[in-house]
Structure 1
Amino acid sequence: MARSLLTVPLLTTTAVAALAWFTLGPAAALAFIALALLEIAMAADSSVPMAGIAGRLHSPARRLFLSLGIVAGVLAMRLLLPPAAVAVGDASDPASAVSEAVFAPGTFAAHLQDVRPALAAFGASFIWLVFAEYLFNTDRASRRSWLGGLEARLAAVARPRVWSLVTAATGVVLTSVLVGSASSWEPASVVPVVLGGVAGTVGYLGSKAVAKWALRSPAGTTDTSSIGTGRDAWRIHAYASTVVFERGLVVFMLFEILDGAYSLSGSGPLGSDGIGALEQAAVAGAAIAVGAVFLARLTSHLDRAAGLQRLRYLKAGAAYVLGVLSMLLWTSLLVPIPGTVVGWFGSVVIGLALATSLPWRAWVRRARVGA
């Protein structure tokens, strides 16, 4: 299974690396391989929550989501959101921000650093609210608790959506107070954190409002059995776009905010000698595309194999990855987060969820019977 899933991305990586070697030189080829392998590794973590989202979609939107939606969403969020954030933060022309990202990545990285606190605060509150959907069981789904009694009690609280908003607001306020205390309450340090946190909450509520509207049947009910067919089939695609945005934002925050490096900047693997600005942009875009294709293939396989149903705690593990990510984003506003923490926390959580999902007792019983 793993071999077949890796065939396309690895063949693509080999072909693009060879092309980069002959056209741009060995430095570009080595930089592309390093970044592409990193993208493939991190895509494995994102595939589990992506499969959970795919399971909530009806068939027409699911096919679009698993094929074009994931790839387009990841590419758009990874490559276009940073220039958009810089343009908004500097009140500049978006086209100028894109041009700077491609032709002057060092300058662009400095400008991105200026808006990083607002972006991190936005992502932390948005992603926490996504995690709170699982923590407080807003859908009231029947499930077995992964972490025991405390998780079960939190999943049974009254008014779960209120709890979600209250905890997110607490995170925004607490982080703003800590940032303010550390900076002697300088407006330039506190205001971006406050505005970013509020914008993240508003963005989440707006996304959910679009999703709720898209899933509402023409009769005005919440019965979605007819959604995805007839004249209103396009509504389910509107819903799919909201979840693509949700996951694309998570992947962007994971790569670009916590590790402190924009894909097109001169840091990380792309900082190798001999690679110009245009070459950096081409190498980064190709590596991100390889990771997005692998993410789409792995998510599609999990969806077809009903992996989240058979491995009952994988969905919980994916949810807790979001919870930890949001906490790391808030923490990154106060202290630097080591790259090793960013690179491995998702793998550890997903690995624990997978290990606890496997039928160890049944295997032991079968082994004893066989002996």
Structure 2
Amino acid sequence: MFLRTFGWSFGITIAGLVAAGLIWGVDGFGVVLVLAILEISLSFDNAVVNATVLKRMNPFWQKIFLTVGVLIAVFGMRLLFPLLVVALTAHISPGTVIDLALHSSHTYNGLTYGQHLEAANPAIAAFGGIFLLMIFLDFILEQKDYHWLRWIERPLERIGRLEALSSVIALITLALAARFFAKEHAETVLLAGLLGLATYLGVNGLSGVFESSLEDEDEDEAGEDAEGEEEGVGGAALAPRPGRSAVLVAGKAAFFLFLYLEVLDASFSFDGVVGAFAISSDIFQITLGLGIGAMYIRSLTVFLVRKGTLDDYVYLEHGAHYAIGALAVILLVSIEKKIPEVVTGLIGVAFIGAALASSMLRNRRVAQDDEDVAAALESAQAARR
């Protein structure tokens, strides 16, 4: 399973590093390698959250996530999307933006491509911060089967019964961020944050509608099959009718979940793309290095799903969402203040590591309790004899 899941990642890594060495020499090889490691370290929590969504999709869409999704992640989110952001925020024509990206020494209004992208950070941070904040809020406010930090999660679940509370909190947070962090960029921050909120509500809402329709179809089909068992000759169940709309609904639900994952990936990749210019000003080196890292994140996501890791370590999902909440705050604060990428990466790793350790301790307690119960039953049976 490991090689089957990570095979493409290993192959692309080798091909990418060899190409980097041939094109840019030893220095280019090192830069691409560092960028790949940076992307993996910053986005590990992204893989865990992706896995919570991907496990709701069938194997076909999991393959789409690993193939088409990788192309979108590498060329769309890490190459074309930054170009679009620079064009929109700096009011530069697409041709000029491409020229700036291809020639790191060229400038427009005295700024290079990397500097223009950094200048667009308030809009990027507001969009991604609010989108990620909504993911965290919807998780922390919903009813859960397991509680990691009970003293926080149980009270928040109670107030989470209020309708649209997460959206209200996000809007208040956006207003505070625009007031205290944006200064001259307040209008841009508000607009970008509202777009982030609208994107989350739209994509997540549509996927939820189609998932609900799919569940209704499954329930109806189960009821018809049960009737068929009663009406069939000799008690034989009637064959389900082919071409049911459940397949189409599943496809729609999976499609919008796929879009949700791509926007989630974009939100996670913003800080990595901007921070990458501190390592290299060559857009192709950045795309190649971050693309290799993105490939591993996708492979790790699928591996977690196929291995059932989230079911075995029940607090991992909690840790990933707390990391998302922390990243959302960091993005909003970074509208005004520069936050080192290493801080972002370490916070995510810390939450994931703590959640994994707590899950392992819980599993040991459960196993010990099961052994104690089994021993008590054996003792009771022996006493009866």
Q: When the two structures are superposed, what TM-score results if normalisation uses the length of structure 2?
A: 0.78
Deviations 1:318-369 (A, max 9, x none): 1111100111111112322123212211111101110100034468899xxx
Q: Are the aligned partners of 2:128 and 2:267 in contact in 1 as well (CA < 8 Å)?
A: yes
Identity %: 25
Q: How does 1:1-371 map to 2 (within 5 A)?
A: 9-10=9-10, 12-70=12-70, 72-73=72-73, 75-104=75-104, 107-137=112-142, 140=143, 142-179=144-181, 183=183, 188-215=184-211, 217=213, 223=216, 225=218, 229-232=246-249, 234-256=251-273, 260-261=274-275, 263=276, 265=277, 267-268=278-279, 270=280, 280-358=282-360, 359-361=363-365
Code of the residue aligned with 1:245 in structure 2: it is: E
Deviations 1:139-188 (CA, angstroms, capped at 9, x unpaired): x4x411111132112123354552101110111111122136xx4xxxx3
Query: Counterpart of 2:145 in 1: which secondary structure?
Result: coil
Contact 1:70 1:244 in 2 (8 A): no
Partner-residue secondary structure (3-state), 2:216:
coil
Q: Give 3-state SS (helix, strand or coil) of 1:150's partner.
A: helix
**8 Å CA contact 1:48, 1:314 repeated in 2:** yes
- Partners of 2:257 and 2:315 lie apart in 1 by 24
Residue aligned with 2:57, SS:
coil
The 3 A distance-change label for structure 1 pair 224 and 315 is farther
Q: Is the 8 A contact 1:61 1:228 kept in 2?
A: no
Tell me how far 1:228 sits from its aligned partner. 8.2
Counterpart AA for 1:21: G
Relative to 1, partners in 2 of residues 1:149 and 1:224: Cα closer, same or farther, differing over 3 Å? farther
Alpha-carbon deviation of 1:291? 1.5
Q: Which has the larger radius of gyration?
A: 2
Higher helix share: 2
Instruction: Say which is worse superposed, 121-130 or 226-235, in terms of deviation.
Output: 226-235
Letter in 1 for 2:201: L
- DSSP 3-state at the match of 1:156: helix
1:178 alignment partner, SS class = helix
Q: Which runs of 5+ in 1 are unaligned?
A: 272-279, 367-371
SS of the residue 1:25 aligns to: helix
The alignment's C-alpha RMSD in Å is 3.1
**Structure 2 unaligned residues grouped into runs of 5+:** 106-110, 222-243, 371-385
Aligned amino acid, residue 107 of structure 1: T
Provide closer, same or farther for how the CA distance between residues 254 and 4 of structure 1 changes in structure 2, counting only shifts above 3 A: farther
CA contact (8 A) 1:36 1:287 kept: yes
CA 1:63/1:228 → structure 2, altered by over 3 Å: closer, same or farther? farther
Cα separation, partners in 2 of 1:124 and 1:283, compared to 1, 3 Å: same
Aligned partners of 2:157 and 2:315: how far apart in 1? 15
Aligned 8 A contact 1:127 1:250 in 2: yes
CA contact (8 A) 1:5 1:297 kept: yes
1:288-334 Cα deviation digits (max 9, x unpaired):
22222212221111101111011000011111111001111111123
User: Which digits, 9 at most, give the CA deviation of each residue in 1:239-285, with x for residues without a partner?
Assistant: 133222232123223413xxx43x4x4x31x25xxxxxxxx333222
State whether residues 136 and 160 of structure 1, in contact with CA within 8 Å, keep that contact through their aligned partners in structure 2. no
Quick one: which amino acid aligns to residue 216 of structure 2? D
Once the two structures are superposed, what CA deviation does each residue of 1:81-102 show, in whole Å capped at 9, x if it has no partner? Answer: 2211122213333344234223
Kept in 2: contact 1:146–1:316 (CA 8 A): yes
Please say if residues 39 and 272 of structure 2, whose CA atoms lie closer than 8 Å, have aligned partners that are also in contact: no
1:74·1:251 contact (CA, 8 Å) conserved in 2?
A: no
